[in-house]
Amino acid sequence: MAAKEGKALKTTSRTVERTKSGIPGLDSLMNGGIPKGNLVVLSGDPGSGKTVMCWQFLNEGAVNQGENGVYISLEETIDSIIFGASEFGWDFKKLLEDGKLKIIAIELYDFERLKNTVEDTIKSVDAKRVVIDPGVIFKLFFDRELDARKRIVSLGKMLKRIGCTTIITNEIALDKTVSLYGLEEYVADGVILLYHTKIKNRFIRSIGVLKMRNTQIAEQLKPIKITENGIIVLTKGQLYEDVN
């Protein structure tokens, strides 16, 4: 159940170990960060900042937290990822050379081979953080939705068994949320939503934590900014205030 922002977590007597996201302001919406080992679906409309947030999450782990990462790209090339991250000051080329990050650009459409590649890559660098982006490409692997649901859920269970903190992105339309073949409902521990909200004659980017297992979450949508250093969450701002 969602709790008011800032209220202490009292669900268990055991301290929940957390993964720091690296996004200023985001962890305060989740009582200190994503519980380690959680599988999170990050949903948002085009241009809302999903991929940038994933890069920031992996960079934080490799540079500041001593946690190797794996980035599974189902759309972009390795070179374009390295270049894109560099525009925010994140040196993915060095992280690759140092063995702290592994990027795999998947061009095959055999889901079992994809699943095996993901597992082998995680184990090869002892990764603690994993990103699969964009998850919406999964639909190209299947002719029937039932098959997609079964196999994607099995992928989610495999990632949770390995114990990495994982983010899988999902693209949604501006006016509605579309499930990633049941991953959010049946397997995912958390769902984070990125929005473009139209206010008068402009769009405001915002973020909300819909659910997060083993933690209490803030109820409010909060505005975000994409800066030259990455995404920041304006935790003291209200969504309908004028965001400069």
Asked if residue 136 lies in contact with residue 180, where contact means CB atoms within 8 angstroms, the answer is: yes
Asked if residue 137 lies in contact with residue 73, where contact means CB atoms within 8 angstroms, the answer is: no
Encode pLDDT of 216-241 as tens digits. 998 788 999 999 999 999 988 665 55
Measured at the CA of 154, the angle between CA 34 and CA 175, to 5 degrees, comes to 60
Asked if residue 36 lies in contact with residue 18, where contact means CB atoms within 8 angstroms, the answer is: yes
| Residue 82 Cα distances to 50, 86, 90, 109, 224, angstroms | 16, 6, 8, 24, 24
Between 195 and 88, the higher pLDDT residue: 88
Amino acid at 37: G
Top-ranked range on mean pLDDT: pick from 24-28, 185-189, 212-216, 221-225: 24-28
With 70 as the cut, is the pLDDT of residue 12 above it?
A: no
- Residue 5 has a pLDDT of 39
Beta carbons within 8 Å of 236's beta carbon, 6+ residues apart = none
Please tell me the total number of residues recorded for the chain in this structure. 244
CA–CA dist 178, 7 (Å, integer) = 30
- Residue 184 has a pLDDT of 65
Peptide bond preceding 46 in cis form (omega within 30 of 0): no
Name the least confident of 76-85, 132-141, 154-163, 201-210.
132-141
* Confidence class for position 46, pLDDT limits 50, 70, 90: confident
Domains of the chain are 18-233 (3.40.50.300)
- Residue 144 has a pLDDT of 79
Encode pLDDT of 145-172 as tens digits. 777 778 888 888 999 999 999 999 988 7
Encode pLDDT of 107-142 as tens digits. 767 888 889 999 999 999 999 999 999 877 777 777
Neighbours of 200 (CB within 10 A): 6
Nearest CA to 39 among 157, 172, 147, 215? Answer: 157
Asked if residue 223 lies in contact with residue 237, where contact means CB atoms within 8 angstroms, the answer is: yes
DSSP tag of 174: T
The pTM of this model reads 0.87
